[in-house]
Chains A and B, each alone.
Chain A
Amino acid sequence: MAAPQQQKLKVNGPVTVTANRLTDGVVVWRTAEGGWSTELNDAIVVTTAPEAIALLEAAGKRDTDAVGPYVAPVILGEGSAILPGNLRERIRVAGPTFELPA
């Protein structure tokens, strides 16, 4: 299975654009202001493929802030909560699913 960055874009629900911060690899999400945030709740969410492609293209124009942007599914929770849309994204938000050794 190809990594998310390599997959053909299919948008069947709310999505956002995510990447890793250049300096330290920390997970970041694209914001409506055209920046990046370490909080998923700050992410811009779109629901169509053209919107997602536009977001992705904009995110890829400058690669000194974030690396490897791709479109990731999200779930809209109660209130204004934005939740990760699959297990991979849940792990990227919350970290490994077990207690770290140290």
Chain B
Amino acid sequence: MYAYDEFDRTLLAERVTEFRGQVGRRLSGALTEDEFKPLRLMNGVYLQLHAYMLRVAIPYGTLSADQLRRMAYVARTYDRGYGHFTTRQNIQFNWIKLEELPEAMAALAEVGVHGIQTSGNCIRNVTTDQWSAATPEEVDDPRIWAEILRQYSTMHPEFSYLPRKFKIAITAADHDRAAIKVHDVGLRLHRNAAGELGFEVLVGGGLGRTPFIGKKIKDFLPVRHLLSYIEAVMRVYNQFGRRDNIYKARIKILVHEIGAEAFSAEVEKEWESIRDGALQLDDAVIADIRSRFIYPKFEKLADNPPELVEALQDERFATWYRSSIARHKVPGYAILTVSLKPVGLPPGDATADQMDVIADLAERYAFREIRVGHEQNLCLPHVAQRDLPALWRALDAAGLATPNVNLVSDIIACPGLDYCALANARAIPVAQDIARRFADLDRARGIGRLHVNISGCINACGHHHVGHIGILGVEKNGQEFYQITIGGRADEQAQLGTLLGPAVSYEEVPDLIERIVDAYLELRTNPRELFVDTVARLGTEPFKERVYEAH
């Protein structure tokens, strides 16, 4: 956990007071909606189909037990008793009232969370690997660098009115869980031959209407230059990014239009003038930020303790263990993923009661720490293996132990037309129907790792382009239709899916997905060949033949 200082607390308290005044003036009519809208958006307040929605950032996906408990309180007191975890390490409250928003924000600010920069054309919540500081794969804790970027970018006057929103993701592991290749800037922390830490820098990735995989513009940026280099990137984008057409305003369009080489040259030119200036991170600054992260005091434990070995005799526990547990960097500990994808329920939603349960479990068993992943699941990053049986029982009792992590029913879905004012089609009920179709988890395990991502419009909040199976809702003559892509992936081998064939109606989607899965089972060389690897080996044609001709 990162311990906020007095500056952060004062800033948030002042922001709440300011927003309270703005809401008061809006309700009295002193501010028009045109005047108020940009102010509320700067605090993460949207107006959706049926209500205001409050989006709250979870910086680099890390939450304390107290913060999660406070979110449960806000959900219960000011909303309808649940919250929705998004693909950008945020939580959204869907039914919040404008007149009560200042109180809700004040409650959140008391524990250091807020909606600042969760909307608008600014640098958004910097996201990272939800297994940070727990996985043995990483070279450093990427959250250190995310926190440095957070402090740098918060209310940065030069970058508060960019051409468009700007999203940065960081990974420090070879296996990318932060989807850095589909962000405006993706940073991969690694060591050079001399053992020094630095970043591989990618720019111009993104999904939405015009998806692109990020292009590498630097192999190795020494960490001390992180801010000056990012500032150079932002300045080039701010200067050359298009402001005449909202659909061409993201940095990915600029990088695509002028080419990564020319973009990189502009950045280098800009960087040259600032690289050794005030933005250079000296060791003392980095050490200070690092010192404010509080790490668990791990016990000396052995792997596979007797409590775990005995519990693994229980087939239900063993199934959940295989699905939800990953190796920790410290012997005797484990990383636990909490599936927010119970079959038939909205993906990524947690009730206030469930949030309280997870907060209590984090407090008791997991050093008070919870993480949020872009796959819309939660994670307890540091749990002793001996405690896993007790954790499983408690999670199971709260409906939080569905053993489907990374399986076909572990679906990413945006809120879609059921909530979102921008959507053209529903996403959540489509996810529910598919999950029900594959409710037999033995069958799902036989299929293996398969990521289904669903978006209710071209803005792609459900990351459909990088789903192994991607589903995009569109509207044709007042009816919902769904385009299907296959072969996308969001990891270190990120690529965009390929359109499989004509769009199908809402009712036809589960059948179509089942035919795609059946085709995969027929085409794979062996059960270890994942769906996405079969598509990579064969292309889409064999799938198209089987899926559409059989229909």
Contact = CB atoms under 8 A, between A and B. Distances in A.
Given A1-B457, A67-B33, A86-B478, A24 B51 contact: yes
Contacts of B439: none
Contacts of A98: 346, 418, 428-429, 432
B422 A25 contact: no
Given A101-B349, A102-B81, A22 B50 contact: no
Contacts of A1: 424, 457-458, 475
Interface in B430-486: 432, 457-458, 475, 478, 480
Contacts of A68: 33, 47
A22 B98 CA distance: 7
Contact of A24 (B26, B32, B52): B52
A68 B417 CA distance: 17
A87 B478 contact: yes
Nearest to A96: B418
A63 B97 contact: no
Nearest to A89: B49
Interface string B96-108: 0111000000000
Contacts, number: 82
Nearest to A88: B417
B352 interface: yes
Secondary structure dominating the interface of A: loop
A34 to B, nearest CB: 17
A67 B68 CA distance: 32
A54 interface: no
B285 interface: no
A58 interface: no
A102 B50 contact: no
A50 interface: no
A81 interface: no
B27 A22 contact: yes
Given A63-B32, A91-B417, A101-B345, A23 B27 contact: yes
10 contacts: A22-B33, A25-B47, A25-B50, A87-B417, A91-B49, A96-B419, A98-B346, A98-B418, A101-B351, A102-B75
Given A3-B421, A24-B51, A25-B97, 7 more contacts: A22-B33, A23-B99, A24-B52, A63-B33, A68-B33, A101-B345, A101-B346
Interface of A: 1, 3, 20, 22-27, 63-64, 67-68, 86-88, 91-92, 95-98, 100-102
